[in-house]
Amino acid sequence: MKTALFILALSLVPFAAGAEPHPVEIHTRLASPIGADKKVALTLDACSGKYDDDLIEFLIQNRIPATIFATKKWLDKNPHGLSVIKAHLDLFDVENHGEKHIPAIIGTDRNVYGIPGEPDVVHLRREVVEGARAVEKATGIAPHWYRDATGEYDPQAIQEIDKLGYKIAGFSVNADQGATAKKAAIEKRLEKVMPGDVIIAHMNKPASDSAEGLAVGLSYLLKAGFVFVRLDQVDLQLIPEKAPKKSP
Ligand SMILES: [Zn+2]
């Protein structure tokens, strides 16, 4: 029921008839009531690229659970990283980030941040279904959450992903800006985390500052009494868009 409402809210995003649909960036937080235990979720995207050994080892040493969004591309290219994750499935939940890391927007010549979307719905379905199959084949566990390449989704794509049986994982705190943020900026962003937040960061760029910034920021959150949960243990709720500020 909650999922149905979530999808309804997302698909009501207006767009002018005849115009190209406007993609929505999906922001979510934990749906469970916020108690004294200050729950937060750490999600890590494994888009393509490499395995950030320092980051995963830090999480293992500090017993910090995380939800990993992996593409088939990443899983195929990083057998060592996958073996470490598989040895710690008590900490890590692996979910679906697609087959080839393509944004969930539909239409030729459309793109998000320069990354081309899908030519049609058939290709979108393939991206989602093959991504899920790759995760299940790699870990033995079928995923239930989907996150596309850029966090932006067409209303039609949102409905298709729902029909395929996957919940869309948004986020509320962008910790590393696609693994481009510097260490100090990552620390600052994590200092502002509130109970119920869903943090997004990246584990596919070991040369970035992500591992270093997250190590400091996550240690701070642990000391501040935050408890990390995985998405297979909770549900998410949509954060309504703020009304645009009126121009003076
Ligand atoms: Zn990604």
Domains in the chain: ranges and CATH = 24-238 (3.20.20.370)
How far does the centroid of ligand 1 lie from the alpha carbon of residue 48, in Å? 7
How far does the centroid of ligand 1 lie from the alpha carbon of residue 26, in Å? 14
Residue with structure tokens 């239409």? 107
Residue with structure tokens 């995380």? 66
- Quick: pLDDT tens for 80-139: 999 999 999 999 999 999 999 999 999 988 888 888 999 999 999 999 999 999 999 999
Q: For 151-179, what is the mean pLDDT?
A: 96
How far apart CA 232 and CA 169 sit, in angstroms, is 11
How far apart CA 78 and CA 131 sit, in angstroms, is 15
CB 68 within 8 A of CB 95: yes
How far apart CA 34 and CA 53 sit, in angstroms, is 32
Task: List alpha helices for the chain, DSSP H.
Answer: 2-11, 53-61, 72-77, 79-86, 121-139, 155-163, 183-191, 210-223
Q: Higher confidence at residue 148 or residue 245?
A: 148
- Quick: pLDDT tens for 28-66: 999 976 666 799 999 999 999 999 999 999 999 999 999
How far does the centroid of ligand 1 lie from the alpha carbon of residue 139, in Å? 19
Structure tokens at 45: 């995207």
How far does the centroid of ligand 1 lie from the alpha carbon of residue 45, in Å? 5
**Ligand 1 ion: nearby residues, β-carbon < 5 Å:** 45, 47
